[in-house]
Homo-oligomer: A and B are copies of this chain.
Amino acid sequence: MTSEYFHFLSIIGVAFFAISGTLLGHEKSVGGFGVVVVATVTAIGGGTLRDILLNKPVFWIAQPDYLYATYIAIFASILSIRHLPDLSNTTMLLMDAVGMAIFNIIGIEKALIEGADMVVAITMGMTTGIFGGLMRDVICREVPLVMGEELYSTACLSGGLTYAALFTLEVSYIWCIIGAFAVTVFLRLGAIHFGWQPNLFRKSSFKRS
């Protein structure tokens, strides 16, 4: 049962990240199949790192349907880009937010299944959620979202802490997932639409201390 949830969730997460990678690659005028390379790295980068760190078979090699989902999402995005009016950068950020929220959850869960400590599991969730998008931004020579002013890693961490809290309270899996997903996406939406910024460590905090 659980593994079905996670298989389905992973497919969705991979597709959202693939779309975000395609949109950024297109935005940066990447030629030819280069956009497929960026989008594929975005889609499978985080999960690949997670599986390597946990010393498990890499998910898209063990089950090629993740790779098919990635390529289908990429080609569907390319066709949409050609036939639709220009998509704003916001669409890319929304796709990234959903992908990050999903991979965060899967990273935590996979680490817990391997018997990892909760601090390790939350770190693994953030790694899985952030790494694909980070590689996308580095390859496209953009300022990584994780380095930006708006809530990003904080949103990911908040989702992870929500998951950990619900998990500790022995809430059923589906609600752990929904809770963590909702918190991460909500915070990212606030960051994207209202420019929410964490001011925990920023330089401006000097003035107040």
CB atoms of A38 and B147 under 8 A apart: yes
Size class of the A contact interface (CB-based, 8 Å): 35 or more
> Which residues from B are CB-within-8-Å of A37?
126, 130, 146, 153
> Which residues from B are CB-within-8-Å of A126?
37
> Which residues from B are CB-within-8-Å of A93?
none
What distance in Å separates the Cβ of A35 from its nearest Cβ neighbour in chain B? 6
> In this complex, what residue of B is CB-closest to A123?
B67
Cα(A201)–Cα(B149), bound, Å: 32
Cα(A201)–Cα(B77), bound, Å: 11
CB atoms of B31 and A148 under 8 A apart: yes
Interface string of A26-48 (1 = CB under 8 A from B): 10111111111110100000001
Cα(A151)–Cα(B31), bound, Å: 8
Selected interface stretch from A96-104, A136-144, A163-171: A136-144
List 29 A–B pairs whose Cβ atoms lie within 8 Å, in order of A's numbering.
Answer: A26-B201, A31-B147, A31-B149, A31-B151, A31-B201, A31-B202, A32-B151, A32-B153, A32-B197, A32-B198, A32-B199, A34-B146, A34-B147, A35-B201, A37-B126, A37-B130, A37-B153, A48-B53, A60-B123, A61-B116, A64-B120, A71-B119, A81-B201, A82-B205, A82-B209, A138-B138, A139-B146, A139-B147, A140-B147
Known: A31-B148, A32-B199, A34-B147. 18 other contacts (CB 8 A): A28-B147, A31-B150, A31-B198, A31-B201, A31-B202, A32-B153, A34-B152, A37-B146, A37-B153, A55-B55, A60-B120, A61-B111, A67-B120, A81-B201, A82-B201, A82-B209, A138-B139, A139-B147
